[in-house]
Amino acid sequence: MADKKLVLAVDDDASVCDLYEAGLPVLGYDVICASSAGKAREMLKKHRPDVILMDIMMSDQDGISLTRDLRSEDATADIPVIIVSGLADAATLDDALRFGAADYLVKPVDVSILKAKLERALQLKKK
């Protein structure tokens, strides 16, 4: 059986991280959570996730600019980022995709859609 894929979830809302930690293993993923952009950077020094789930609105750095930063660094440039946000407007979606997100998911998270987007991101990474 294939190794479980590792997901780094970056969200400053503890209940969202709890949801990921409870739900993603059921879908066949290992998960680690970071409660800020700074903590995500620390985790990326120790772990190489297969996919990153990125909140937009965080206290230390917004998820779109962090995604842009990750795209510009050799060590993280190829890790697919799925933006997960309560913001559903076209401008935010456009910014997320323009700055390197592989996909976008609107909160509240539907588990079946999340699973499909994770699988799609992993397929794109293989290509």
- What is the per-residue pLDDT across 106-116, written as a single tens digit (0 to 9) for each? 988 888 999 99
Predicted local distance difference test score (pLDDT) of residue 78: 94
Distance CA 63, CA 19 (A): 19
Task: Using a cut of 0.85, tell me whether the model's pTM lies above it.
Answer: yes
Residue numbers of the domain that contains 15: 5-126
Let me know: does 49 contact 82? Beta carbons within 8 Å.
no
CATH number for the domain including 108?
A: 3.40.50.2300
pLDDT band of residue 1 (cuts 50, 70, 90) is: very low
Class of residue 91 by CB neighbours under 10 A (exposed 0-12, middle 13-18, buried 19+): exposed
Number of domains in the chain: 1
- Which of 20, 102, 17, 29 minimizes the C-alpha distance to 58? 17
